[in-house]
Amino acid sequence: MNRLLIFSLLFTISLALPAQELFFPSKEGIRLTYQNFDKKGKPTGKVKYTIKKVKRNGDDMDITYHLEVLDDKEAQQYVDDEVTVQKRGDKMFLDMSKFLNKSAFPQKEGTSTALEVTGNHMELPLVPLPGTSLPDAYVTISMKTGLLNMKMTANVFNRKVEAAEKITVKGRTFNAFKITSEVNSTVLGVKVNTRSAEWYAYGLGVVKSESYNKKGEIESSMELIEILE
């Protein structure tokens, strides 16, 4: 299928979409649960996103999620945070802080700490065109406590819309856009370089993601396993 035909098909899809058709749910109370897997396919934990608040301004909106990262049995909570997704015009912008765990910074009672988050938002067009590149994104989280300075960074680059394809997750098949990228992160002095692929479906966001090492082998993955409204 040539590029012109793909563009024509996607343009037709975009005209048929309802005004509020997004890559993410936009109703307060909806909860998405994901299962994390290691490179052997063994479950390692769960991630839950619950819509806490939706702020609308005309066709634009801010969607605030309550983010929880749990062990596989949901007995221990590792992350309890908030992330925001924004819709501005024909694009969506994702909170880059989701790439870093702010709870990794030690917080001690009786000490004065200043946590600073800088960077930009990850951009996602409402109608991605396979073969096109997307803007880079980055985030830095710094903390100063007394004489101690700590920093975490994440840079996402070489982002590309690879394909519009069907993907089956947990027995359900979705029409999705596959987006690939490279991620360089530094967490408390430790550098990690990975490649990733994410599949975005309308009304849900990411339904599956995979992380690869330099050899192209899967290091970890994540799949949508439950939708509660």
The Cα angle at residue 96 between residues 137 and 115, in degrees rounded to 5: 120
- Give 102's DSSP letter: G
Asked if 182 and 194 count as a contact pair (C-beta separation under 8 A), the reply is yes
pTM here is 0.83
Asked if 32 and 25 count as a contact pair (C-beta separation under 8 A), the reply is yes
Asked if 178 and 197 count as a contact pair (C-beta separation under 8 A), the reply is yes
Distance of CA 79 to CAs 47, 98, 138, 169, Å?
9, 10, 20, 25
Cβ atoms within 10 Å, residue 181: 19
What is the residue-level pLDDT of the chain in tens, covering all 229 positions? 444 333 333 333 333 344 446 888 999 999 999 999 999 999 999 999 999 999 999 989 999 999 998 998 988 888 888 889 999 999 999 887 766 655 555 555 544 456 677 888 899 999 899 999 999 999 888 877 666 677 888 899 999 999 999 999 998 999 999 999 999 988 777 888 999 999 999 999 999 999 999 899 999 999 999 999 8
Distance of CA 166 to CAs 125, 216, 227, Å?
19, 22, 19
- Domains along the sequence of the chain with CATH: 26-228 (2.40.360.20)
State the number of CA atoms in the 13 A half-sphere of 62 facing the CB.
9
pLDDT at 131: 95
